[in-house]
Amino acid sequence: EYTDPHCNGKQVIVHLFEWKWTDIANECERYLSHKGYCGVQVSPPNEHTIITKEYPRPWWERYQPVSYILHSRSGNEAQFKDMVQRCKAVGVRIYVDSVVNHMAGMGRQGTGTAGTHFDSDAYSYPTVPYSREHFHDDCPVNNYGDPNNVRNCYLVGLSDLDQSKEYVRNKIADYYNHLIDIGVAGFRIDASKHMWPNDLEAIQAKTKNVDGGGKALFYHEVIDQNDGAIKVNEYYDLGLVTEFRYCQKIAWGINNFGQLNGVVDYGWGMSKSDRALVFVDNHDNQRGHGGGGNLLTHKNPRNYKMAVAFTLAYNYGFTRVMSSYGFQSTDQGPPHNADYSAKDVTINADGSCGNGWMCEHRWNPIGNMVAFRNKVAGTDLNNWYDQGDVVAFGRGNKGFFAMAKQGHAQLQLQSGMPGGSYCDLVTDCKKKINVDGSGRVSVNIDNNEEPIIAIVVDVFT
């Protein structure tokens, strides 16, 4: 329960951070469905604050809810519905980033993206409606060693809802059920660490089944870096949990190939595989917010491609790919028009994106590895090879992956693959890879190409 993404066994979701609904609908049809993506995590769709005084319209205004009306910087309810339906029609599901721990920051007031007036100091959210009795008393989250402080106080000054109240639980469950009615297949729960598991359980229990049956997917944002009282395993019964230690470990592993063998470190308390939501970076830590520091991002493309391709080839967790926009300041919102509305995502002739959108999910070593992960799902990892700067491994008798950090490798490696001339997924089949009758793969990686190769059964040249 709560762990099924409802996408026919597909294995990878992508976070299209700050994309508009109209662009996501197009992307489902023109790219994601063809590559085997399971679904899209969308930015919070509900009404939020409009913050213009800080860096013009920071991305994080969307983490300050004003109501549950589906009208955000990404679009209105009609556009949202159209996106959900068009994506679903091509086998791609939508997962909503849901912000239900809190409403807007204290000291903020005005009009939200759907035109609702609010005043956080007066605890006034008339459209929900929420008022004083639905919030905890104002105190700062400032002691991660104390669960009461973490869960009942105000995270960065955000007015903290009291989910022990039946009324609040119902309002949140109504929001989820409205989205489920529209056809949404699951939810990221923002700041789950700051809510009591019992309260979340009560809310999730009130949610309807998604169409096709079964509970929606829930994945909980719990930043557990062994630095506080709250552990990811408190949330195992409620769905998947974000595994932020993996971000640190994979960055170290790529920067120092010697450590890749132990990239999933249960000694560190990392989540069990069937509960872990795994990613190389996310919208916070790629810009130094929540859990940041020394991670790999699109700003270091060569290493980033290796990190994501490796993660997709490996056999840990349920994977999420990050798709970003370029930024200089950590607060900077998405590429915008003169009126600060988000720019369209345009597609260049070579398949990359324009208008400032990075579209990492379209980079060949990332987008083409989705098919690999789908194909090898459920197989064991085998034939691990780890010498100098070359790391390689197989997945059952279905796939084989190799990378060479310095960009040079010429060797024969054992795999479990049937013999044949395979298509290299990473180069979109421009490179052919031969496997002999006893499963030995000819690995040839050259400095002038991507430092990665991957082959999978049934994809022959």
Residues in the site for Ca ion, rule: CB under 5 A? Answer: 101, 151, 160, 194
Whichever of 248 and 442 has its CB closer to ligand ARE, that residue is: 248
Is 281 a binder of ligand ARE (CB under 6 A)? no
Q: Binds 97, which of ligand ARE, Ca ion, none (CB < 5 to 8 A, cut-off by type)?
A: none
Active site residue 221: yes
> Whose structure tokens read 């990378």?
403
Q: Report the 10 Å Cβ neighbour count for 444.
A: 18
Helix, strand, or coil here: 408?
coil
Task: Report the residue from 221, 234, 243, 450 that binds ligand ARE according to the rule CB under 6 A.
Answer: 221
**Interaction between residue 335 and ligand ARE (CB under 6 A):** no
Residue 419 backbone zone (phi > 0: left; psi -120 to 50: alpha; other: beta): beta
User: Should residue 60 be labelled a site residue for ligand ARE when binding is judged by CB under 6 A?
Assistant: yes
Contact criterion met (CB below 8 Å) for 351 and 344: no
Closest-approach residue to Ca ion (CB): 194
Q: How many C-alpha atoms does 86 have within 13 Å on its Cβ side? A: 18
Q: Applying CB under 6 A, does 99 fall inside the site for ligand ARE? A: yes
Instruction: Choose between 47 and 190: whose C-beta lies nearer to ligand ARE.
Output: 190
Q: Given the complex with ligand ARE, which of 114 and 223 has the nearer CB atom?
A: 223
How much of the chain is in helix, strand and coil states, percent to nearest 5?
Answer: 30, 25, 45
398 binds, among ligand ARE, Ca ion, none (CB under 5 to 8 A by kind): none
Give whichever of 273 and 330 is closer to ligand ARE, judged by the CB atom.
330
Contact 346, 306 (CB under 8 A): no
Q: Who contacts 39 (Cβ-Cβ below 8 Å, separation ≥6)? A: 5, 7, 10, 13, 14, 87, 92, 93, 94, 95, 185, 186
Please calculate the CA angle 353-299-285 and round it to the nearest 5 degrees: 105
Pairing state between β 217-220 and 240-242 = parallel
| 18 tagged catalytic | no
Shortest gap between Cβ of 146 and Ca ion (angstroms)? Answer: 13
Measured at CB, which residue is nearest to ligand ARE?
A: 105
Residue 160 binds which one of Ca ion, ligand ARE, none, with CB within 5 to 8 A depending on kind? Ca ion
CB of 160 to Ca ion, least distance (A): 4
Among residues 240 and 457, whose Cβ is nearest to ligand ARE?
240
Mark residues 290-309: x for contact with ligand ARE by CB under 6 A, - for none.
xx------------------
Residue type for position 276: A
DSSP 188: E
Q: How far apart are CA 48 and CA 424, in angstroms?
A: 45
CA distance 384 to 286: 30
Q: Which stretch binds ligand ARE (CB under 6 A): 7-15, 220-228, 315-323, 341-349?
A: 220-228
Distances (CA, A) of 97 to 75, 112, 157, 184, 452: 15, 18, 20, 11, 32
Catalytic residue among 18, 27, 61, 190: 190
- State the binding string over 227-266 for ligand ARE (x if CB under 6 A, else -): xx--------------------------------------
Active-site position among 221, 234, 284, 360: 221
**Which of 101, 374 has the CB closer to Ca ion?**
101
- Locate 127 and state its tokens: 């459209």
When asked if residue 312 is in the footprint of ligand ARE (CB under 6 A), the reply is: no
Binding mask 141-180 for ligand ARE (x = CB under 6 A): ---x----------xxxx----------------------
CA quadruple 74, 77, 79, 81: dihedral positive or negative? positive
Asked whether the beta carbons of 418 and 362 are under 8 A apart, the reply is: no
Catalytic sites, residue numbers: 190, 221
Instruction: Give the interface with ligand ARE as residue ranges (CB under 6 A).
Output: 60, 63-64, 99, 105, 108, 144, 155-158, 190-191, 193, 221, 223, 225, 227-228, 284, 289-291
